[in-house]
Amino acid sequence: MQNYKSAATIHASEILITSPSIQQLMKKTKILLIGAGGQLGAELTQGLWKIYGQQNVIASDIKDAQGILKEGPYEKFDVMQRDKLFELLKRNEITQVYHLAALLSATGEKDPRWAWKLNMESLLFVLEAAHELKLHKVYWPSSIAAFGPTTPKQNTPQDTIMDPATVYGITKLAGELWCEYYFRRYGVDVRSLRYPGLIGWKTPPGGGTTDYAVDIYFKALKEKKYECFLSPDTYLPMMYMDDAVKATIDLMEAPAEKVKVRTSYNISAMSFCPAQIAATIKKHLPDFTITYQPDFRQSIADSWPKSIDDTAARKDWGWQHQFGLEEMTTDILKNLNSV
């Protein structure tokens, strides 16, 4: 009786997600990853290849396939072409979309109107497609940029003041609410993480405020010096790419009932400032020197959290990070030295 009663209180959209139709269960996973040419996209594509098989993951980007992406299925396509998106999804019988294409924080400030259009419209196209074509799951990244100057800066909670100061952040906050709307209203199983700064060594970064923490490794090895566009004590939440790929796949693989936050999850691994990353690099490369020349990106960084409370992600679906600053630095320098 107890069970019967609680089942009756479940919202219709939850039934849709937790009880996929037999047809859905039988249909095998076929993924489209949009924005595969970006910093996260290339590595996430490879992570998905390992789970679902290369032939079941179609990478796409507005640019031609680069590097490792040439090895798998690839579609060159502009996400602003709604019809092409629908056609691609139908033709390939796609069941999941990872939509990573976006203008980042620093680039977005150079053309706010375009950043709004690209980031927002492309998300809406994907959500509309997910609803109309009954996709099983959608992944869309949010960011620490969704927070703003009056957000508590230390251990920023999951639910708190959100007053983004960049157009990129505004698109992330609005996008989070659209994701929740599509989940509540149509039962679209869309999942999201608020990434901190992501640091990888395989693909160059593209227009972010946290990108200094990527460039610094390349310059340290090549030139033994780096001029940083943020001040030495600018703390920001950061994550190594391996952890970001793991977090994304862990969230997407979690049973739907464990995904309780339908805007976007806080997610965290480490927090450091330019002076700290420089000191860590110096342990490996004693001749390395850093100078500081803060530019417009300083005020963007100053509007963001310094550290993130990701208790909800750890509790709901078991998030655990692996890399701190020391481990990440050792790993990156080792890999860059051998390429």
Tell me the catalytic residues.
168
Can you read off the two tokens belonging to residue 153? 């800066």
Q: Does residue 183 belong to the site contacting ligand SER (CB under 6 A)?
A: no
Query: For the purposes of burial, counting CB atoms within 10 Å of the CB of 48, is it exposed (0-12), middle (13-18) or buried (19 or more)?
Result: buried
State both tokens at 108.
Answer: 């977005």
Site for ligand SER contains 195 (CB under 6 A) = yes
Contact between 145 and ligand SER (CB under 6 A)? Answer: yes
Q: How far is the CB of 212 from ligand SER (least distance, A)?
A: 9
Question: DSSP readout, 123-192?
Answer: HHHHHHHHHHTT-SEEE--EEGGGS-TTS--TTB-SSS-----SHHHHHHHHHHHHHHHHHHHH---EE-
Q: Based on CB atoms, which residue is closest to ligand SER, 105 or 303?
A: 105
Cβ proximity of 210 and 250 under 8 Å:
no
Burial class (CB in 10 A: 0-12, 13-18, 19+), 67: exposed
Is residue 234 close enough to count as binding ligand SER by CB under 6 A?
A: no
CB of 292 to ligand SER, least distance (A): 18
Q: What angle do CA 97, 103, 105 make, to 5 degrees?
A: 125
Q: Which stretch binds ligand SER (CB under 6 A): 70-78, 111-119, 203-211, 267-275?
A: 203-211
Choice between 72 and 237, CB closer to ligand SER: 237
Which one of the spans 202-210, 223-231, 240-248, 331-339 is the region binding ligand SER (CB under 6 A)?
A: 202-210
- Give the nearest distance from C-beta 10 to ligand SER in angstroms: 34
Interacting stretch for ligand SER, rule CB under 6 A, among 86-94, 124-132, 207-215, 268-276? 207-215
Q: Which of 73, 148, 208, 274 binds ligand SER (CB under 6 A)?
A: 208
If binding means CB under 6 A, how many residues of this protein chain bind ligand SER? 11
Q: Report the C-alpha gap between 152 and 205 in whole angstroms.
A: 28
210 is a contact residue toward ligand SER (CB under 6 A): yes
Question: Pairing state of beta strands 236-240 and 270-272?
Answer: antiparallel
Maximum pairwise Cα distance, the chain: 72
- Interface with ligand SER includes 197 (CB under 6 A)? yes
- Round to the nearest angstrom and report the end-to-end CA distance of the chain: 63
CA angle 307, 251, 64 (to 5 degrees): 95
Q: What is the DSSP string of 40-70?
A: HHHHHHHHHHHHH-GGGEEEEESSPP-GGGG
CB 298, min distance to ligand SER, A? 12
> In this chain, which stretch among 58-66, 87-95, 138-146, 249-257 interacts with ligand SER, using CB under 6 A?
138-146
Annotate each residue in 235-274 with x if it binds ligand SER (CB under 6 A) or - if it does not, as one string: ----------------------------------------
Q: Which stretch binds ligand SER (CB under 6 A): 84-92, 139-147, 246-254, 260-268?
A: 139-147
The whole-angstrom separation of Cα 236 and Cα 245 is 19
126 scored as a contact of ligand SER (CB under 6 A): no
Q: Which residue is nearest to ligand SER (CB)?
A: 208
Tell me how far, at minimum, the Cβ of 322 lies from ligand SER, in Å: 20
Q: Is 209 in the site for ligand SER (CB under 6 A)?
A: yes
CA distances from 328 to 42, 173, 214, 235 (A): 19, 29, 11, 17
Interface residue with ligand SER among 105, 248, 264, 266 (CB under 6 A) is: 105
List % helix, strand, coil for the chain (3-state, nearest 5): 50, 15, 35
- Chain residues that interact with ligand SER, rule: CB under 6 A: 104-105, 143-145, 168, 195, 197, 208-210
